[in-house]
Amino acid sequence: MEPEESTKTEALNAIRRLPENANTEEMMYQLYVLENIRRGQRDAEQGNTIAAEEVLQDLQRW
């Protein structure tokens, strides 16, 4: 298993992958997405998930 990158390193790598003309808003969005992925991974590791069938049932009620 590969060692986990630090949050700072992951953020810097995400920003480096952006085009040179990326603006601050695009950088912030990338960091927002990255954080939400990390939260989702953490929730999955802790078993804080909902079955797909349950989500589909909830969506059908809307």
Q: Name which of 7, 6, 55, 4 is nearest 35 in CA terms.
A: 7
Split at pLDDT 50, 70, 90, the class of 62 is: confident
Q: Which pLDDT value is given to residue 1?
A: 41
Domain residues of the chain, as ranges? 7-61
Q: How confident is the model at residue 58 (pLDDT cuts 50, 70, 90)?
A: very high
The pLDDT tens digits of the residues spanning 1-31 come to: 456 678 899 999 999 999 999 999 999 999 9
Q: What is d(CA 29, CA 23) in angstroms, rounded to the nearest whole number?
A: 10
This prediction's pTM: 0.71
